[in-house]
Amino acid sequence: MSTFKSFLTSDVIVSPFKVNKSFTFQGNELTGSNVEIDRYLGKNIISPLFISGSNPTGFINIQDQFLVYRSIRELYYSNYLFGPNGSPVNTASFNLDGTITGPQYEPNYYNYLSTTLPPNRYFPTSSNDVIGVISIPSNLFGEYLRPNTVQISNGAITFIDDGEGNMISGSLKYGDVIYEHGIIILTSNGISGSFGYGSGSYGSTPYGLSTVDYISSFATGSNITCSFESTITLYETQYKCTLRENEFNFSNNPTVISGSSNSGVIYDFATGSYFSPYVTTVGMYNSNYELIAVGKLAQPLPTSAVTDTTILVNLDL
């Protein structure tokens, strides 16, 4: 049998909390239909004529290399084209007569910095410079990539994020990660030269390649591993089911009524002052008294006739 009691506003508490899930994908798994992590090669192609589709890149959504390069530059590096610590912003004076004097006015762009620490973003701007972009879909990373969990490898070198938006290998930085967009960008950070001694390959793993070649291997190669943790906010609702000392002290269970009597006589054991009903289940009902959730207690809980009893019900949505 059921007994109903309405909740007060003070009986309901909603608390948000973050949860994380780890993912690791390798090789062809990245571009699989259930994953769809796309990779792009962006290139600063200097040409007086733009021909659509002439420099394709991407495995799932085909884009143009030059447009990828310019899009990444505009979104994440527009303040850092003249220096890794930020380009000087021109300012002007607005006079009372409505005229403007001084250097030409231009805005300071929002480039999705990961921390309030001094910035350090490098973007290559020379002719035919390349960048690598790994794009993780939002259905995998949730609200943002968890810092200190992003890692990519091509079998010869591994880049990890330092929790501050930098993709590093050892003590050197080779790119950036935009946690809230699920974007990993390899720019080489101005580092030139090659990794290892000489160049070539061991099986399917390259070695001794230039920095540019390594960026290309991450953007187009097949021996790639990508791991990260997603982040999403869940909301836990806590309901305080309070039984006052003068409430729920009589059982609605039909077994306390004598089956041999048609007048509904209650057994003697249920009429004494020592008798206390037990709570085994808490049901949550809507305003139409429709059962929408059920909570089972680990063991039957006796109600008290001398003090209040509170049962906490937590729902994670």
Residue 130: the pLDDT is 94
Query: How many angstroms separate the CA atoms of 20 and 232, rounded?
Result: 7
Q: Which of 168, 179, 166, 186 lies closest to 43 in space, CA to CA?
A: 186
pLDDT tens string, the chain, 317 residues long: the values are 556 888 989 999 999 999 999 999 999 999 999 999 999 999 999 887 777 778 999 999 999 999 999 999 999 999 998 888 887 666 677 788 878 776 655 667 899 999 888 888 999 999 999 999 999 999 999 999 999 999 999 988 899 999 999 999 988 899 999 999 999 999 987 665 444 444 444 444 444 556 677 888 899 998 999 999 999 999 999 999 998 888 877 776 777 777 665 566 777 666 666 677 888 899 999 888 899 989 899 999 888 888 898 999 998 87
Residue 204: the pLDDT is 44
Q: Between the CA of residue 130 and those of 7, 54, 133, 211, 279, what are the distances in Å?
A: 61, 16, 10, 10, 68
φ/ψ of 2, rounded to 5, equals -120, 150
Q: Between the CA of residue 168 and those of 50, 133, 173, 241, 316, what are the distances in Å?
A: 34, 15, 4, 52, 37
Which H or E run contains 75?
Answer: helix 65-76
Q: Where are the domains of the chain?
A: 18-233, 244-316
User: What Rg value do the Cα atoms of the chain yield, rounded?
Assistant: 32
Residue 270: the pLDDT is 65
Residue 259: the pLDDT is 64
Residue 141: the pLDDT is 97
Query: How many angstroms separate the CA atoms of 143 and 140, rounded?
Result: 9
